[in-house]
Amino acid sequence: MASVSALGNNDQQIWMQYLSENHSFKNKTLNGIESLVSGLSDNNWNTVNRLKESPQFKNLDPSVLLAIEVSRKAVAKVSWNNKSFGVNIGSSRGATTLFEKYHSEFIHSKNAKVSTLSSPTTTLGNISSWVGHDLQSNGPTISHSIACSTALHAILNGIAWITSGMADRFLVGGSEASNTPFTIAQMKALKIYSKGKSAYPCKTLDLNKKQNTMIMGEGAAVFCLEKGPKKNAIAIIEGVGYATEPLKHHISISTNADCFQKSMAMATEAVQLQDIDIIVMHAPGTIKGDASEYNAIKHVFKDNTPALTSNKWKIGHTLGASGGLSLELAILMLQRQQFISIPFLKDQKHPTNLKKILVNAVGFGGNAVSLLIALN
């Protein structure tokens, strides 16, 4: 696996950030308005933006550049000597930086003109296509958007291709560079954005909060999938689950998150619930989002509820990349045999001898995914 986010861009750096009780939120001025966001460090953005020194990359959106950067790192860690692998890296928002740039040019142009590259550089397919081109893979290249469960849906898709026999290997994940004026304004319009008036401005899993506290973040995370036991595997996917639920509103989720109940039940049907040590929750920091997922967990696990955690109190909601960064946290906890808690649930049990972790993600429309992972 490989990632880049406000936590850093290598496993040790990221883990040290998880051991800290500090969050990564900072004020950023967008169109003259200050908003709390979680973003990459200047050094990490400088590294990513060096890709633009290549003429073929200079006009690409940051979401594509992030995906290229982490994909190079992930594939360098595995023995994929031939180029026979597929690529499925998705995004919730896609090329939002370029969309906003080109749209601004359009509305301010006297003759309603836009750049020649405005269409080819803003298609969602850019992400996997450019990653495949850069790595010279000769498998399928697929990009998709399934809102905030995009990265875990990419993993489901890679598993389906491999299981069907149509591919042996897949590079999967999500990339999001959405700390942009219009995207932040959209989230604020939904009345879910944090006002940032406390020591922990995103109160993920504080079930007593009186206001929504979601904060936007940016980043990318990718994983190399293969079938069967491998000596260098960092984890095994033991179960997968997915579900949707009937919509009552564009951003609605039922009080007891029916979609999560179904996805978690499917992902864990082959194991004993008491054997699951931790759930890395989606938990975006909104009142209804956190509570509904918590209710779903209690409904499925009853008295066997595992320890609960999430990284959004620390790095915010990275939309289409969030499930990938949650999976990364789960793998790091398994590797280091240490539970990372959150400030609002300090009284819960801290499991040791970690063996199995469940990872959740859900997007607008109740598109839930649950992955059960275990040590190799």
CA distances from 178 to 97, 232, 364 (A): 7, 33, 16
Given this model, what pLDDT does residue 252 score? 62
Given this model, what pLDDT does residue 253 score? 75
For the segment 124-182, what is each residue's pLDDT rounded down to a tens digit?
A: 999 999 999 999 999 999 999 999 999 999 999 999 999 999 999 999 999 999 999 99
Q: With a cut of 60, say whether residue 334 has pLDDT above it.
A: yes
CA distances from 92 to 45, 60, 114, 152 (A): 20, 17, 24, 12
Q: Where are the chain's structural domains? A: 2-374
Given this model, what pLDDT does residue 366 score? 85
Instruction: Compute the average pLDDT of residues 252-275.
Output: 93
Given this model, what pLDDT does residue 339 score? 97
Q: Give the whole-angstrom CA distance, residue 115 versus residue 103.
A: 10
pLDDT band, very low/low/confident/very high, at 243 (cuts 50, 70, 90): very high
Q: Give the whole-angstrom CA distance, residue 182 versus residue 200.
A: 25
For all residues of the chain together, what is the average pLDDT? 95
For the segment 67-124, what is each residue's pLDDT rounded down to a tens digit?
A: 999 999 999 999 898 899 999 999 999 999 999 999 999 999 988 899 999 999 999 9
Q: Give the whole-angstrom CA distance, residue 40 versus residue 2.
A: 15
Q: Give the whole-angstrom CA distance, residue 314 versus residue 210.
A: 19
Given this model, what pLDDT does residue 197 score? 82
Q: Give the whole-angstrom CA distance, residue 174 versus residue 328.
A: 12
CA distances from 325 to 109, 156, 240, 274, 289 (A): 40, 16, 17, 25, 18
Domain 2-374, CATH: 3.40.47.10
Extended beta strands in 166-274, E state: 169-176, 216-217, 219-226, 236-243
